[in-house]
Chains A and B, each alone.
Chain A
Amino acid sequence: MNLLTATFYDISTAVKAKKISAVEVTNFFLTRAEKLNPTLNAFTHFNKNAVIDAQKIDAEIIAGKNLGPLAGVVFGIKDMLCTKGMPTTAGSKILQGFIPPCDATVVARLKNAGAIIIGKLNQDEFAMGSSNETSYYGNCKNPWNIDYVPGGSSGGSASAQSARLTMGTIGTDTGGSIRQPSSFCGIVGIKPTYGRVSRYGIIAYASSLDQAGPMTSTVTDAALALEVICGVDEHDSTTSNKSVDLFSKNLTTNIKGLKIGLIKEFMAGQSDADVEKVFSSALETLKKMGAEIVEVSIPLTEFAVPMYYLISASEASSNLARYDGVKYGYRSEFQNLSSLALDDFYGQTRAEGFGPEVQRRIMLGTYCLSAGFVDAYYNKACQVRRLLKNQYIEAFKKCDVIFSPVTTTPAFKIGEKSEDPLKMYLNDIFTTSTNLAGLAGMSVPFGLSSKNLPIGVQLTSAPFQEQKILNVALALESVSPVEGKTPNVY
């Protein structure tokens, strides 16, 4: 069995049948990851107990215990999710050395299903970024060309998965942070419907937008991981009681008669020639498979980027108030605590602990929520958010899934956009409206640019309709022009 191409199902079946041990799988990926990580900087921490965890899985199998569908499957976890006993930094200095006392629900669910966590993955600081360039722990590289960004904020997840340093990864997506890096690195990434996956133990950036999701090599793996992590959680009152379908069992490539919606406003020439080519090719493929193409109009998508930054910065300014040097994380060096003004204690710790992009968004959010401005900015953006959601509800009366590019360009070079915040924000024009409306969205690879960089296509569904986008993604994957292609760093 080739561990580099084996699926989750292949591995868990083989491990349960004792054809290969969890220890062997774990050692294979740990060795590979440790060898390639200095080039990519995808992992920020390796789990010192990974082999011990794997030994426990093997012992349970020998004892005849029934294990879950991910037995022996090795995962990397974005550093935004708490992992008990392992550092969890959110890519920030202000959480350097922080060791959570518990696992995030997502992590606990993966472990209950038999998965082995081999380490934590690099990311933009507090998930604020689209290139992994705001990480305190250094840039992460795109395995297809190490001069290029892997995307962000789940850059480490995308890079590690693309170079197959692990079998599966988990990322988070607030405005596109699973879908965009998945597209840039040529892997599958899914952001579930808001409320599908518990946010307990996930460091909060924007509480009404954040969702964790799997970033994997195949659609089938993504579907299986999704099944495992979705579900109501008593620790998170924003999770939905809606039953979780067996996404992986219900997969089909039969999309005859399925209505694929194209958003008129996303087809206005925003994308570059390489993206247009891949998108058109995928669209032709869908037509050949019997899908029906319909045009839908969602005019308010034009304002999705400013709405997203306004709302997310506001929510972040509140969520990041807890990083104050008191109970955990970084604290400035002070000579004499007893003669220090409290505001200076907070002000200096936070100024030293947060990077410039995070401070910029905290300032922006604080401004938008402050007395005198909250109605004009935050409340106004929330009103427009409702109108945007209503437009999507109308659009989904005409189609089953919405099909669009993920980004306007393939990956860009490290340093190319980091000087101008606004330029960086405009990366997200095709992805932010999904989070604002609480929909599900995914990216599936479908081509390479003229510079040999991956380009994905995006599928969006109405809330709780993940099966539909998984099916279309599987259909596309089954005839994908990039099937079997691997990056330079592999």
Chain B
Amino acid sequence: MIDEKTILHIAKLARLKINSKQAADYGQQLSKVLNHFDQISKIDTTNVEPLISPIEANFFDDMAFREDTAKNLFTAEEILENAPDKMGNLFKVPPVVG
């Protein structure tokens, strides 16, 4: 069973605000799901390189690379169009420093 302290730590890493009841629920749900996942731990993977992406076999032979040139794809206006709060060409946010 994953304890409340761990759940609160994970929630902090994930930047998700949760209350005690949610922490208890997540603890239970995650424990149940991870117990199910434990069956993987028994599989012998000695000297096996992890497969992170299916395209690795195509690396360099097959992958698409582009020229390293800068492009202006969007204007500042287009980028700010969806801003929840802005001031001029700036996104308005809480203080980041201090």
Where the two chains meet, the residues of A that have a C-beta atom closer than 8 Å to any C-beta of B are 97-99, 101-102, 194-195, 207-208, 232-234, 236-242, 300, 303, 306-307, 309-310, 317, 321, 324-331, 334, 337-338, 340-348, 350-351, 354, 359-360, 362-364, 366-367, 370, 376-377, 379-387, 389, 421-422, 425, 437-438, 463
Contact = CB atoms under 8 A, between A and B. Distances in A.
Nearest to A198: B64
Contacts of A102: 73-74
25 contacts: A101-B78, A194-B55, A195-B54, A232-B64, A233-B64, A237-B64, A239-B64, A240-B63, A303-B39, A310-B37, A324-B15, A338-B94, A343-B15, A346-B15, A350-B15, A351-B16, A359-B18, A360-B30, A367-B30, A376-B41, A377-B34, A384-B43, A387-B45, A421-B33, A463-B54
A387 B14 contact: no
A295 B96 CA distance: 60
| Secondary structure dominating the interface of B | loop
The 7 closest A-B pairs by CB, nearest first: A438-B54, A382-B50, A347-B17, A328-B82, A386-B51, A383-B45, A331-B84
A306 B10 contact: no
A240 B62 contact: yes
Contacts of B70: none
Nearest to B86: A327
A306 B35 CA distance: 10
Contacts of B29: 360, 421
Interface of B: 2, 6-7, 10-18, 26, 29-30, 32-34, 36-37, 39-41, 43, 45, 48-55, 58, 62-66, 73-74, 78-79, 81-85, 91-96
Contacts of B95: 338, 340, 342
B39 A386 contact: no
Contacts of A360: 26, 29-30
Contacts of B52: 208, 382
Contacts of A98: 82
Contacts of B93: 326, 337, 342, 345
A421 B31 CA distance: 12
Contacts of A346: 15
A224 to B, nearest CB: 24
Nearest to A302: B39
B10 A241 contact: no
B28 to A, nearest CB: 11
B81 A383 contact: no
A181 to B, nearest CB: 23
Nearest to B12: A343
B49 A383 contact: yes
